Structure 1
């Protein structure tokens, strides 16, 4: 025979469990728009009906003791989390790189406003030299040519200054990103401590320890955000904590209540990154940090960054000075030629310091020469004009005119942006697809929750009716049994 009141206990357990299940459904619906919220479930098991004696006995009297809740778990897929974070790192890399390349494009590409770009400056110079060649004796035309050369030099100065400003700003932004990464690593370590303290010992159906679900959601949000900066790998532990690798290095680890986090340092060059714990250089397979470092340090033709375009502008400045400083011979038969363009005090010429020479600045007639017979000659002016149509070799990478070299630089930048943009689009598409799959698993579906709500509500009502039936049975057993024959 079963215990007299077992039916009431069975029904009571069912009512309490279904009531809690309705609470969880309500919680899910309430958080349908909460960022990072993971759909929760009430895990239930049938009450064990084993006896208390080691002697063989039947389990029938104790069968049917109902249901009990073992914990509130989360519906989450670890593989989809890992896949999303992998793709999100690529999104961060291409997105950051595209943003920086766009700033470079705005700095050195010929703007829409006519007369303000380097090609327009070269065109203005060509026009000025053409008119000067027709009137090589007029000081007015010489002054116009000097102004045109000044325009070319100042445009290159502005381009160089803009690139330098972009570099400094991006170095500052990199420092902010590093601070954000370090803060997230510290938050992960702190959350691990709290979660380990609060986690339950028993595991849910997915083999994960039950714990404070809201804190688990916070931790997952931080991991998602961190994955945009680089490669994130997560290794859960039995106590509810986790080990985190960032770009292949263990950065959050520990046991019990001793979780610690590593941090990133920036070198004196403001672009190199190393770990605080061992000064090891960061490996950058993907992510925003790689985007920063690649563009800040990229100086090769295969890895074009700010230094690459700075070098190209310097090549243009050096070739301009070298060409035009070999055109007009010195007066009075002195050896050598007049210096029209110069750079720094040490003689180094760059796009940042290119300017017309002090002698020419003092006298516009510096470029006017008179033949021994007293007549004016336009030979030197024509030679200067022809230099603008002459091919030069720029650092062994390109051969063409000055204007063609500018086109080569901007075209290379445009091609790089187009390629990077297509990869960004593909990465975003893939990441969104994975995120949709992940959301379909861990996100709240109002349709599903509505079905769950009706299911638990019907069970609750049925159990309430069962309670009434059990009460009626006990009334018969207690108050009416044994009255026959009195």
Structure 2
């Protein structure tokens, strides 16, 4: 009799296990498109005889059958860590490529309206002055061409500053987002620790944890360590950002262009924040310095040429350009007669000095050559950054695909599991029905109650 009732218990346990398996399948299918969801599986174990003693010499310790031992998250910690590393590198590559592309767009070369063509037109404008030094018209055209060049250099310098301002704003917002994510992670760490201590299911909390870790790695290259209880610590630039429930704030000082964690300055290696900081500290200042060199070289060349000649009244020529750097370059001659076209004093119609200046743009050390070099540097750097972005994107996508193959939900696999649990449920139900029939026969149809 005890064996029969034990069979009922075994069948009941089997039905419960199959039902729970179907619930997990339903959970997986319902969250197949939920960002950050990790596929789950019911864990089952046999209810065996006494542990460590051969079953030949024992009786079952309980009713036997199957029991549910937990719900597993089907993730690979190694792939998770690899994915976060690659996303940190992608954050750096993507942001760096975007920044360089925006800078490249400020220098539209070759172009009929670009600075290169404007410089060429400026130097050419000296030739009509040389051919007709006594006329006001070519002198006025020359000053107009000079003003166009100065205005373009001013605009380019301002646009470079705008790129830096945009990077500052993006970095500031990014740091705010990092602090928000770190605070959330600290809270979730606390909840995971409680769940681990009480034996509660923390799978959904771990999904949220992993999403936050992915964000922190992409934004600042945060390196995560998963603790034994399931909580996560994050280190940025060698400094602890999150340790259990303790969170150290990250800050950005726009005055010094430095990032700190918990008051200690850190060096960002990966993540989008690293690229923004590099744009501020290295990229924009380097190109701004080269553009300033172009402007200063142009001003020095033309002003030296002016000083070597004489204006229409026969007086020594004065500076044509004023200001230092691309942002401040301006044309300070407004009177066309002050253009020093002549090489001899005394007021004459000699245009040899203007002719000499017309050829300055072709020299190897001219502003034109420096500008061409600047454009080439930007072009090659942008091309390299885009190539690195493409390569890193491919690597990241490959790792993500491996990660998804382990932790992502497959409809085909879930349907297969559903059928398996369904058959198990049906079979267990049939066992239970059969045992019920046996007990009914045993109790109600076997033997007679004794009569007095």
TM-score scaled by length of structure 1: 0.86
Q: Whose helix proportion is higher, 1 or 2?
A: 2
Separation in structure 1 between the aligned mates of residue 61 and residue 194 of structure 2, nearest angstrom: 37
Residue 438 of structure 2: aligned partner: 473
How many angstroms does 1:480 deviate by? 3.8
1:227 aligns with 2:217: yes
How far does the alpha carbon of each residue in 1:308-345 deviate from its partner, in whole angstroms, 9 at most, with x for none? 110011111111111111123476999975211111xx
Residue 83 of structure 1: aligned partner: 82
User: Which residue of 312, 315, 318 corresponds with 2:290?
Assistant: 312
User: Which residue of 133, 144, 149 corresponds with 1:147?
Assistant: 144
Q: Indicate conservation of the 8 Å contact 1:199/1:212, yes or no.
A: yes
TM-score scaled by length of structure 2: 0.92
How many angstroms does 1:419 deviate by? 1.1
Residue 397 of structure 1: aligned partner: none
Separation in structure 1 between the aligned mates of residue 420 and residue 346 of structure 2, nearest angstrom: 112
Residue 338 of structure 2: aligned partner: 366
Q: Secondary structure at the match of 1:274?
A: strand
Matches within 5 A, 1:165-314: 165-199=162-196, 211-254=201-244, 259-269=245-255, 271-275=257-261, 277=262, 279-298=263-282, 305-314=283-292
How many angstroms does 1:373 deviate by? 6.8
Q: Secondary structure at the match of 2:10?
A: helix
User: Which residue of 392, 395, 404 corresponds with 2:369?
Assistant: 404
Question: Which consecutive unaligned segments of at least 5 residues does structure 1 have?
Answer: 203-209, 299-304, 344-348, 393-400
Of 369-378 and 164-173, more deviation after overlay is shown by 369-378
Separation in structure 1 between the aligned mates of residue 288 and residue 13 of structure 2, nearest angstrom: 75
Q: Secondary structure at the match of 1:184?
A: helix
C-alpha RMSD of matched pairs (Å): 2.6
Separation in structure 1 between the aligned mates of residue 345 and residue 267 of structure 2, nearest angstrom: 69
Q: Indicate conservation of the 8 Å contact 2:130/2:354, yes or no.
A: yes
Q: Secondary structure at the match of 2:86?
A: helix
Residue 421 of structure 2: aligned partner: 456
Q: Secondary structure at the match of 1:42?
A: strand
Residue 322 of structure 2: aligned partner: 342
Residue 102 of structure 2: aligned partner: 103
User: Which residue of 345, 361, 368 corresponds with 1:388?
Assistant: 361
Q: Secondary structure at the match of 1:5?
A: helix
How many angstroms does 1:297 deviate by? 0.9
Q: Indicate conservation of the 8 Å contact 1:211/1:240, yes or no.
A: no
Q: Indicate conservation of the 8 Å contact 1:80/1:437, yes or no.
A: yes
Q: Indicate conservation of the 8 Å contact 1:142/1:368, yes or no.
A: no
How many residue pairs align between the two structures? 446
Question: Which consecutive unaligned segments of at least 5 residues does structure 2 have?
Answer: none
